C-alpha cells in the first residue's frame, strides 16, 4: 500500500511564508479532510505538492513511499500518482472532453506507446457509467460555458480516467448548489476504495455530510492545529473557527 508523506513542509510565495510546518501522512484508501478559514494556505499546500511554479518549498519534504517528489516536474509528479483537482478549473474552448482526456491518458504511456482507441473508449464509458455521466457530455469543449457543477464533474471524470494514487481535491464544493454538491460527492464516493487516497480541502462542513472522511484536520495559519474524526467537522460547524483560535491562545 502506497503512502503520501508531507513532512514539516514550509511553503513561500515570493518572500512570504504561507505554509509553516505542515505534517500529514495519507495512505491509499484513506480520506482526509482539511478545513480552515480563507487565506490559511490550503490551496497553497495543494498546488505546491502538485508542483505549481509560483510556490517555493523552502524546507520539509513530500514523499511517495519514501521517495521525495520535490525534484520532479508537475507532469512527473502526476505520473508518480498525484492528481490535483482545481478550485477554479480552466476553460479550453475547441477541445472536447473526449480528446482532452485521451491526450491526458496518452501522456501517461511510455514513449512510443500508442493508446488503443477501442480500449480507451471502453474505459471512458465505464468510468462515465460509474459516475452516472451522460455520454453527450464528452463531446462538449472542456469547461467551456460549464456550470460550477459541470466543471467539477469534468474534474472528477479526469481523476477517474487517470487513476491516481492520491487525489488532492481543492474546494470541490465551491460554487456548487446542493444538487451539484451531491453529484460530486457521489462521484468521489463511487471512486473511493483501497487504491485511492484523498485529501479533501474544504471551507464548509456541508460537503462532509456526503463524503464522510476518515480524519478531519483543522488548518490555521499554515499548519494543522487540530485533528480528529468526522465529529470535529460538526464541532467546527457549530462553534466556528474562532473556537479553534481561542483554544490555541489558551493552550
Ligand atoms: P486558502 O486556500 O486557505 O484560502 P490560499 O493558499 O489560497 O489560502 O492563500 C494563502 C495566502 O497566500 C493568502 O494570504 C493569499 O493571499 C496568498 N496567496 C495565495 N496564492 C498567491 C499567489 N499566487 N500570489 C500571491 N499571494 C498568494
Ligand atoms: Mg483555497
- Measured in angstroms, how far is the CA atom of residue 39 from the centroid of ligand 2? 7
What was the pLDDT predicted at 87? Answer: 65
H-helix or E-strand containing 225?
Answer: strand 223-228
Confidence of residue 173 (pLDDT cuts 50, 70, 90): low
Measured distance CA(218)–CA(223) in Å, rounded: 8
Tell me the average pLDDT across 234-242: 86
Which residue, judged by its Cα, is nearest atom 24 of ligand 1? 13
Residues 6 or more apart in contact with residue 3 via CB below 8 angstroms: 25, 26, 27, 28, 64, 65, 197
Question: Which residue from 16, 39, 84 has its CB within 8 A of the most atoms of ligand 1, so it is best to mutate?
Answer: 39
Indicate which atom in ligand 1 lies nearest the CA of residue 36: 3
Q: What beta strand segments (E) does 3-120 contain? A: 3-13, 16-27, 31-35, 56-64, 67-68, 82-85, 92-96
| 202 touches ligand 1 (CB under 6 Å) | no
C-alpha R_g of the chain:
18
Res 174 pLDDT > 70? no
Q: Is 40 helix (H, G, I), strand (E, B) or coil?
A: coil
- Give, as one character, the DSSP assignment of residue 139: G
Residues 6 or more apart in contact with residue 104 via CB below 8 angstroms: 158, 161, 162
Tell me the average pLDDT across 192-220: 91
Confidence of residue 172 (pLDDT cuts 50, 70, 90): low
Q: How wide is the angle at C-alpha 60 spanned by C-alphas 55 and 61, nearest 5°?
A: 85
Question: Which residue from 10, 11, 13 has its CB within 8 A of the most atoms of ligand 1, so it is best to mutate?
Answer: 13
| 15 touches ligand 1 (CB under 6 Å) | no
Q: How far is CA 238 from CA 163, 232, 244, in A?
A: 36, 10, 12
Q: What is the distance in angstroms between the CA of the first residue and the CA of the last residue of the chain?
A: 36
* Cβ–Cβ under 8 Å, residues 151 and 106: no
| 223 touches ligand 1 (CB under 6 Å) | no
Tell me the average pLDDT across 214-237: 93
- Domain ranges across the chain: 3-93+162-250
Q: Does domain 3-93+162-250 have CATH number 3.40.50.300?
A: yes
Tell me the average pLDDT across 210-223: 95
Measured distance CA(165)–CA(82) in Å, rounded: 6
Amino acid at each position: 500500500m502506497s503512502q503520501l508523506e508531507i513532512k514539516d513542509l514550509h511553503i513561500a510565495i515570493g518572500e512570504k511564508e504561507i505554509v509553516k510546518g505542515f505534517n500529514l501522512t495519507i495512505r491509499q484508501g484513506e480520506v482526509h479532510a482539511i478545513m480552515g478559514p480563507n487565506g490559511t494556505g490550503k490551496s497553497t499546500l495543494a498546488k505546491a505538492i502538485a508542483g505549481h511554479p509560483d510556490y517555493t518549498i523552502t524546507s520539509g519534504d513530500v514523499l511517495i513511499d519514501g521517495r521525495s517528489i520535490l525534484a520532479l516536474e508537475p507532469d512527473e509528479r502526476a505520473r508518480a500518482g498525484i492528481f490535483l483537482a482545481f478550485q477554479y478549473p480552466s476553460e479550453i474552448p475547441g477541445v472536447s472532453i473526449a480528446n482532452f482526456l485521451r491526450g491526458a491518458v496518452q501522456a501517461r504511456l511510455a514513449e512510443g506507446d500508442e493508446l488503443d482507441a477501442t480500449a480507451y473508449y471502453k474505459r471512458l464509458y465505464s468510468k462515465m457509467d460509474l459516475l452516472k455521466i451522460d455520454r453527450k457530455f464528452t463531446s462538449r469543449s472542456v469547461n467551456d460555458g460549464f456550470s460550477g457543477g459541470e466543471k467539477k464533474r469534468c474534474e472528477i471524470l479526469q481523476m477517474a480516467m487517470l487513476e491516481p494514487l492520491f487525489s488532492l481535491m481543492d474546494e470541490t464544493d465551491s460554487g456548487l448548489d446542493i444538487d451539484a454538491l451531491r453529484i460530486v460527492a457521489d462521484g468521489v464516493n463511487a471512486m473511493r476504495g483501497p487504491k485511492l487516497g484523498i485529501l479533501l480541502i474544504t471551507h464548509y462542513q456541508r460537503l462532509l455530510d456526503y463524503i464522510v472522511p476518515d480524519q478531519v484536520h483543522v488548518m490555521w495559519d499554515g499548519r494543522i492545529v487540530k485533528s480528529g474524526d468526522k465529529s470535529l467537522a460538526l464541532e467546527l460547524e457549530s462553534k466556528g473557527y474562532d473556537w479553534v483560535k481561542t483554544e490555541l491562545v489558551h493552550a
